[in-house]
């Protein structure tokens, strides 16, 4: 069974079985070992869901018109589920909401001067909340801080698993794309700080992309073969990244 883990800052571990896939949403500090244990502990529930789903699918196939492309319908449903609603995008542009690690969170006024994330809300000071410009500024400052704290750890962990060590890690405002590919030949890993807004699978893809440039400077066939060996679903991730492109325009 395919297991897809999405990391979140929320203090949760949620398991959902859907169309032969186990979707796990877990706090970023829950280790893979712990997740495996949780899945193991819930195996009876998962198997029951799977059996129910399998029989439903069999029923569906029997009643479906023979020419209906099942996979296409399924992909379409998943795509709609993932897309961020246009009204929500408006609120994100207004600094009333933001996206953190793939989750949409509300931006709300805090009683203190600190910026912090709690539940599904990002608290910013009353002064910063006053107008759009100040809200966006406070959100961006928080994203930069998160990049230094969390993404730097992800980069180190990817680097040690691939036995690669960057000479420098930089989180900047990368105007074109999410990674500054040209700096990688000097082993400088320069990633847009807004990478913190993306879900884990897309962050991993971008980190792998940056590391791949240590060996291959251009986006040629060898480059994509290298990426494909690391992340066989990289083409899906590239497409998914398009959905988050608007974040770079805020």
Figure out which of the listed residues 92, 143, 181, 227 binds Zn ion, where binding follows CB under 5 A. 181
* CB nearer Zn ion, residue 105 or residue 181: 181
227 binds Zn ion (CB under 5 A): no
> Residue 201 CB, nearest distance to Zn ion (Å)?
18
* Number of residues engaging Zn ion in binding (CB under 5 A): 1
| Nearer residue to Zn ion within complex by CB, 143 or 207 | 207
User: Which of these segments, 37-45, 85-93, 181-189, 236-244, binds Zn ion (CB under 5 A)?
Assistant: 181-189
Q: Cα separation of 73 and 75, whole Å?
A: 6
Backbone angles phi, psi at 6, to 5 degrees: -115, 125
Helix (H, G, I), strand (E, B) or coil at 198: coil
Residue positions counted in the chain: 250
Specify the 3-state DSSP secondary structure of 95.
coil
Give CA–CA dist 220/199, Å, rounded.
Answer: 26
**C-alpha separations of 24 from 1, 14, 140, 201, 230 in Å:** 13, 6, 28, 13, 21
Does residue 101 belong to the site contacting Zn ion (CB under 5 A)? no
Site stretch for Zn ion (CB under 5 A), options 37-45, 80-88, 155-163, 176-184: 176-184
Could you tell me which stretch among 50-58, 102-110, 168-176, 179-187 binds Zn ion (CB under 5 A)?
179-187
Which parts of this chain interact with Zn ion (CB under 5 A)? 181
């Amino acid at each position: 069974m395919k297991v897809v883990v999405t990391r979140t800052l929320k203090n949760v571990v949620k398991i959902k079985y859907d169309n032969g896939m186990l979707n796990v949403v877990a706090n970023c500090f829950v280790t893979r070992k712990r997740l495996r244990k949780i899945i193991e502990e819930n195996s009876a529930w998962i198997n029951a869901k799977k059996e129910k789903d399998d029989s439903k699918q069999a029923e569906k196939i029997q009643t479906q018109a023979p020419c209906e492309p099942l996979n296409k319908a399924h992909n379409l449903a998943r795509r709609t589920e993932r897309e961020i609603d246009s009204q929500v995008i408006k609120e994100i542009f207004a600094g009333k909401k933001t996206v953190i690690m793939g989750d949409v969170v509300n931006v709300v006024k805090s009683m203190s001067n600190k910026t912090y994330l709690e539940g599904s809300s990002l608290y910013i000071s009353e002064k910063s909340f006053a107008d759009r410009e100040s809200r966006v500024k406070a959100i961006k400052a928080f994203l930069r801080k998160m990049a230094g704290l969390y993404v730097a750890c992800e980069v180190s962990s990817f680097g040690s698993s691939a036995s690669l060590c960057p000479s420098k890690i930089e989180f900047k405002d990368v105007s074109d794309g999410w990674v500054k590919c040209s700096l990688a030949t000097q082993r400088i890993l320069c990633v847009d700080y807004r990478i913190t807004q993306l879900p884990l699978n897309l962050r991993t893809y971008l980190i792998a992309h940056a590391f791949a440039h240590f060996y291959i400077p251009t986006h040629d066939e060898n480059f994509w073969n290298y990426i494909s060996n690391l992340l066989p679903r990289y083409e899906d991730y590239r497409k998914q990244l398009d959905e988050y492109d608007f974040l770079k325009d805020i």
